[in-house]
Structure 1
Amino acid sequence: MKKAGGYLKSPLPLIVMLLIQFGASIIMLLRYIVLYGLEKGTQLYSGETLSVVFIADMMALGVMGIWYYAGVVNRKKRLEIPKEQSLLGAKDVGLLVVLAVGMQFAIGMLLAVWNLFSPELIEEYSNMMEDAGIGTQGILTVLAVGIIGPITEELVFRGLSIEYLKRTGAAFWVINVLQALYFGIAHLNPVQGAYAFLIGLICGYVVMKYRTLWAGIAFHMAFNLYSQVQSGLTDALDSSGLLEGAAGAVVLIILFLVGIGFTVFPLIALHRKFLPESINRE
Structure 2
Amino acid sequence: MKKFLQYTGCLLPLIAGLAAQLAAGTAFSIFLSAQISAQMPGASLQEIQSEAITRYMEAAPFLILISHIVTIFMAALWFYYVSGRKLPENPLKGFSLFTVPVMLLCMIGLQYTCSGILMVISHLSPDLLTGYIQLLEASGLESLSPVTLIATLFFAPIGEELLFRGLTLHFTKRITSRFWIANLLQAVCFGIFHANLVQGIYAMIMGLVFGYVREKYQSLYASILLHALVNFCGTIISGLLLPDLEPGLGMSFAILCVAALVLAAGLKLVEKDTGKN
- Are the structure 2 counterparts of residues 17 and 269 from structure 1 closer, same or farther at C-alpha, using a change threshold of 3 Å? same
Residue 233 in 1 paired to residue 243 in 2?
no
User: Displacement, 1:262?
Assistant: 4.0
Residues 259 and 165 of structure 1: CA distance in aligned 2, closer, same or farther (over 3 Å) = closer
Contact 1:3–1:169 under 8 Å retained in 2:
no
8 Å Cα contact 2:108-2:233 kept in structure 1: yes
Question: 1:118–1:57: structure 2 CA closer, same or farther, 3 Å change rule?
Answer: same
Q: CA deviation at 1:35?
A: 1.1
RMSD: 2.9
Cα distance in structure 1, aligned partners of 2:209 and 2:53: 38
Please tell me whether the aligned partners of residues 203 and 216 of structure 1 are also in contact (alpha carbons under 8 angstroms): yes
CA contact (8 A) 1:17 1:60 kept: yes
Tell which deviates more after alignment, 134-143 or 55-64.
Answer: 134-143
1:116 aligns with 2:123: yes
| Candidates 162, 183, 206, aligned match of 2:169 | 162
Partner of 1:16: 16
Deviation at 1:125, TM superposition (A): 0.4
- Runs (4 or more) in structure 1 with deviation over 3 Å come to 1-6, 255-262, 271-274
Residue 136 (str. 1) matches residue 143 (str. 2): yes
Which one of the candidate residues 67, 80, 85 is aligned to 1:69?
80
Aligned twin of 1:28: 28
In structure 2, how many angstroms separate the alpha carbons of the residues matched to 1:47 and 1:113?
Answer: 31
The CA deviation string for residues 133-153 of structure 1, in whole angstroms up to 9 with x for no partner, is 222113211211111011000
- Structure 2 CA distance for partners of 1:22 and 1:102, relative to 1, 3 Å: same
Instruction: Check whether the contact 1:101–1:259 (CA below 8 A) recurs between aligned residues.
Output: yes
Pick closer, same or farther for the CA change 1:184–1:103 going to 2, 3 Å.
same
Q: Sequence identity, in percent?
A: 30
- Render the CA deviation track for 1:100-132: whole Å, top value 9, x for unaligned: 122211211111111111000000001111111
Query: Equivalent residue for 1:249?
Result: none
- TM-score, structure 1 length as denominator? 0.82
Structure 2 CA distance for partners of 1:175 and 1:260, relative to 1, 3 Å? closer
Map 1:40-189; keep pairs closer than 5 Å. 40-74=51-85, 86-189=93-196
Q: Secondary structure at the match of 2:83?
A: helix
- Inter-partner Cα distance in structure 1 for 2:13 and 2:97: 30
Find out whether 1:269 has 2:276 as its counterpart.
Answer: no
Give distance in 2, aligned partners of 1:69 and 1:189. Answer: 30
Contact 2:109/2:263 (<8 A) preserved: yes
Cα distance in 2 between the residues matched to 1:40 and 1:138: 23
- Determine the C-alpha separation between the residues in 1 that align with 2:241 and 2:136: 16
Does structure 1 residue 205 correspond to structure 2 residue 216? no
Decide whether aligned partners of structure 1 residues 228 and 68 sit closer, same or farther in structure 2, where only a CA change above 3 A counts: same
| Distance in 1 (alpha carbons) for counterparts of 2:175 and 2:256 | 41
8 Å CA contact retained: 1:101, 1:222: no
Amino acid corresponding to residue 133 of structure 2 in structure 1:
S
SS at 1:10's partner residue?
Answer: helix
Amino acid at match of 2:141: I
CA contact 1:33–1:42 (8 Å) conserved in 2: no
**1:52 CA drift (Å):** 1.2
Alignment of 1:193 with 2:204, yes or no, is no
Report the Cα distance in structure 2 between the residues aligned to 1:129 and 1:234, rounded to whole angstroms: 21
Whether contact under 8 Å (1:61, 1:148) holds in the other structure is yes
Contact kept, 8 Å, 1:88 with 1:212, in 2: the verdict is no
Contact kept, 8 Å, 1:35 with 1:41, in 2: the verdict is no
Judged with a 3 Å threshold, the aligned counterparts in structure 2 of structure 1 residues 230 and 205 are, in CA distance, closer, same or farther, namely same
Tell me the amino acid that sits aligned with residue 147 of structure 2. Answer: L
Residue segments in structure 2 that go unaligned for 5+ positions in a row: 37-47, 247-251
Q: Is the contact made by 1:179 and 1:200 (CA closer than 8 Å) also made in structure 2?
A: yes
